[in-house]
Structure 1
């Protein structure tokens, strides 16, 4: 794990390796969250809220920023608390607590907006790709795989309240992605079906419950507060 501007509370391997898409030579993507020393939050300037490197590929979000992303059901950030146990690399007690309250971040409208929004972005990339460029075809297959993954995760969240990160049938998703990469228009039906299923009643609430996140974040701040050393007595006048 790359150096963080604070204490890493939870981190793990995400992306293609987590989904089951990885192949020989695939990069490892890591995601985590860290706690800024609480006293650094008291000054004039806010400390950094995200720390990103590309060699290695690591993204770390400050605890408060991660909570805001998760409350909006950001697909990339949210998967950190739904990883299979063997993919975690750092799990502190506060990190374990966060995994325990993961369902409180979910809401039906946010899942629909975030997941279908990301899937639609992949769809637009497919429609606008350069069909004469072989490298573009490889990127298209990747966009198509993630489109399929996003809509299936969205439907599963909506209908079960659980986010399955490690796909049970990654080869089926890979094959469907190859088909969509060659025929991008075929993804339209997949998106329409997902939207229709997400419009039905599901198990998720209409809004997340921010209270567990707020209480957890306050525990984080208390645990990472280091009082400054006592000042030397000022000279008497």
Structure 2
């Protein structure tokens, strides 16, 4: 396992996310890492303003403090959610408390939050694509547009799977179809509209297996175990 950065102790769970995890990476793609860590519990009791997230580049790595990660996950945030659904080989730091977090991953889910977040993020991507016009822009912009289009398709597919089955498959089945879709949208942003409409209809037509509300009690219990584990009385 890769050691945690020395300036961010108590990493509970960390792994490779993004295009590498999705199976969409190509030569030159960045490798993104995401993780959750715990501050020493005594620091929560003082005047010190705590940093809730650490973002590093070269290599790209984002770490969220446990409470912040939980709040983001409870809101349905797709980016943080994927951390607890990764294939086992993509985890680089995995502790007992990290395993417990994976074990309660379904507790973070609710039908409305999943629909609003995944479909909402996909719609945001579409608005960005629309704003770029007819494809008559630089090669670098076309590349970014294709990337955003791939994310739109992935968010729609993964969000509907999570909404209808309660499970999230990180690696996509047919990576080339995502790249082809990105290329089409880079040439004509309007090519994304039918796919977004198709998934909006699918969310409307399918009943969710998810509860109306997440299980905040299970999440709270895990977070309290984290705080108890990292509590050391001041000298």
TM-score tier, shorter chain, comes to: over 0.9
Matched, 1:193 2:201: no
| 1:123 lines up with 2:129 in the alignment | no
**Residue 226 of structure 1 aligns with which residue?**
232
Q: Pick from 156, 179, 182: which aligns with 1:177?
A: 182
Contact 1:35–1:63 under 8 Å retained in 2: yes
Greater Rg over alpha carbons, structure = 1
Q: Could you list the runs of 5+ residues in structure 2 that have no partner in the other structure?
A: none
User: Which residue of the partner structure matches residue 202 of structure 1?
Assistant: 208
Conserved 8 A contact 2:107-2:215: yes
In the alignment, the residues of structure 2 paired with residue 174 and residue 108 of structure 1 have an alpha-carbon distance, to the nearest angstrom, of 29
Equivalent pairs counted in the alignment come to 229
Question: Which residue does 1:135 correspond to in 2?
Answer: 140
User: C-alpha deviations, 1:116-136, integer Å up to 9, x for none?
Assistant: 111111111111226321111
Displacement of 1:4 after TM fit?
4.4
The Cα RMSD (Å) is: 1.2
Distance in 2, matches of 1:191 and 1:46, equals 41
- Map residues 144-163 of structure 1 onto 2, 5 A cutoff: 144-163=149-168
Distance 1:101 1:4, change over 3 A: farther
Q: Please state whether the residue corresponding to 1:44 is helix, strand or coil.
A: coil
| Separation in 2, partners of 1:204, 1:173 | 27
Say whether residues 1:87 and 2:93 are aligned partners: no
- Match of 2:26? 23
Residues in 1 aligned to 2:179 and 2:10: alpha-carbon distance in whole angstroms:
37
SS at match of 2:156: helix
TM-score, normalised with respect to structure 2:
0.94
The one of 62, 72, 75 aligned to 2:75: 72
Question: Measured at CA, do residues 3 and 185 of structure 1 come closer, stay the same or move farther in structure 2, by a change above 3 Å?
Answer: farther
Structure 1 gap segments, 5+ residues each:
230-237
Q: Which of 113, 116, 123 is the matching residue for 1:113?
A: 116
